[in-house]
């Protein structure tokens, strides 16, 4: 498995974001990660999932959704972590960047979103249907994407929720009904809480995500 390379991602004309790009030899797919509220590209949970994908030959991009200054502001106020439109716009910009970069332009693009990052991933998938080919959500808040955006998603979408995260399970069931994606699926992992911190539960998330991307993210 290749070591990640630090990259600067042009999310739009004015914003450059930090990322870690890992390209296994012969990769035909790449998954861009959208972290949850208050987190960053250094999220240990997302890194563990990314490592599993990399071992399966899937390239990964772990990225910050906020600039360093914005991150410091959000740490103090929490005002940006729920700005789904902002986060989705950054993620859509990263998808366009991947589609244009020589090293990644021929790879099929998928999105993996955690918590609020899942809402951003679904909005980006709705807005870039020709580029985003599959989506996985871990403990996500797809409801924050809004019913109109959920209905526009066409990429095959997997929602993974901890069985003990009861409020989020209910939110995901409602979101699943609104999703326009085909296929779409909700998997409830028994005995897992919101962050999948229990022994073996995050490994189950990684296994499910790897299988979904290998099946539905066409190379």
pLDDT tens-digit series, residues 118-153: 999 999 999 999 999 999 999 999 999 999 999 999
Report, as an integer, the average pLDDT of 62-66: 89
pTM of the prediction? 0.94
Give the pLDDT band of residue 168 (cuts 50, 70, 90): very high
Q: How far apart are CA 83 and CA 93, in angstroms?
A: 16
Report, as an integer, the average pLDDT of 80-108: 93
CATH number for the domain harbouring residue 50: 3.40.50.1820
Non-local CB neighbours of 1 within 8 Å, separated by 6+ positions: 22, 24, 51, 54, 55
Q: How many domains does the chain have?
A: 1
The overall average pLDDT reported for the chain is 92
For the segment 2-36, what is each residue's pLDDT rounded down to a tens digit?
688 899 998 877 889 989 999 999 999 999 999 87
Could you tell me the residue range of the domain that residue 152 belongs to? 5-216
pLDDT above 90 for 71: no
Strand partners, 138: 114, 160
Of 17, 52, 9, which Cα lies nearest the Cα of 202? 52
pLDDT above 70 for 99: yes
Instruction: Give the single-character DSSP code of 4.
Output: P
Q: Residues 60, 53: contact at Cβ < 8 Å?
A: yes
């Amino acid at each position: 498995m290749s070591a990640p390379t630090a990259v600067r991602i042009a999310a739009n004309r004015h914003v450059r974001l930090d990322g870690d790009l890992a390209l296994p030899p012969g990769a035909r797919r790449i998954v861009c990660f959208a972290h949850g509220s208050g987190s960053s590209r250094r999220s240990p949970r997302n890194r563990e999932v990314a490592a599993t994908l990399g071992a399966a030959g899937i390239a990964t991009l772990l990225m910050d959704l906020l600039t360093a200054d914005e991150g410091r502001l959000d740490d103090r106020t929490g005002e940006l972590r729920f700005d789904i439109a902002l986060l989705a716009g950054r993620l859509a910009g990263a998808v366009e960047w991947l589609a244009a970069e020589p090293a990644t332009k021929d790879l099929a693009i998928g999105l993996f979103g955690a918590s609020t990052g899942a809402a951003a991933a679904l909005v980006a998938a709705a807005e870039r249907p020709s580029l985003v080919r599959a989506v996985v959500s871990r403990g996500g808040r797809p409801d924050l994407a809004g019913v109109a955006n959920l209905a526009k998603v066409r990429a095959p979408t997997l929602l993974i929720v901890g069985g003990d995260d009861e409020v989020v399970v209910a939110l995901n069931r409602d979101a699943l009904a609104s999703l326009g994606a085909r296929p779409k699926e909700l998997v409830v992992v028994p005995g897992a809480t919101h962050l999948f911190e229990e022994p073996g539960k995050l490994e189950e998330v990684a296994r499910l995500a790897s299988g979904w991307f290998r099946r539905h993210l066409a190379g």
